[in-house]
Amino acid sequence: MNLRMLGDQIAVKPDSVESVTTGGLIVIDTSDKPRRGVVVASGPGVYADDGSFTKQTIQAGDVVAYAAGTGVEIDFDGTKLLIIKEEHVIGNFVGATFLPSLRVKM
């Protein structure tokens, strides 16, 4: 099954927001700090009121930072994804290779 996003929506596989202490306790980060993840799918873009088309700048495979508390969580083929609008993306880590936990099959 494939995931095809519409408009300016993107599907992000979030980086884990929990860590495990040396004692084995799981600590979940609930702060309002920006989150990061890898884009699994992105929509084509949106039409403005004047009829012009704005193409999506974020593409599948990009590693992005996004505002905490945004989007809708879904379960897609056993993978938890977050659906957000491109406007909630704070930045794109160009050439990022530091998130091995975020590798996904596309």
CATH of 9-96, one of 1.10.3210.10, 1.10.357.10, 2.30.33.40, 3.30.1490.20: 2.30.33.40
User: Higher-confidence residue: 15 or 49?
Assistant: 49
pLDDT score, position 97: 60
Question: What's the pLDDT tens digit per position in 13-43?
Answer: 988 655 566 777 666 655 556 688 999 999 9
pLDDT score, position 17: 55
Q: Phi-psi region for residue 33, left (φ > 0), alpha (ψ -120 to 50) or beta?
A: beta
pLDDT score, position 98: 53
Whole-model pTM: value is 0.73
Question: What's the pLDDT tens digit per position in 54-86?
Answer: 998 999 989 999 988 889 999 988 889 999 999
- The residues spanned by each domain of the chain are 9-96
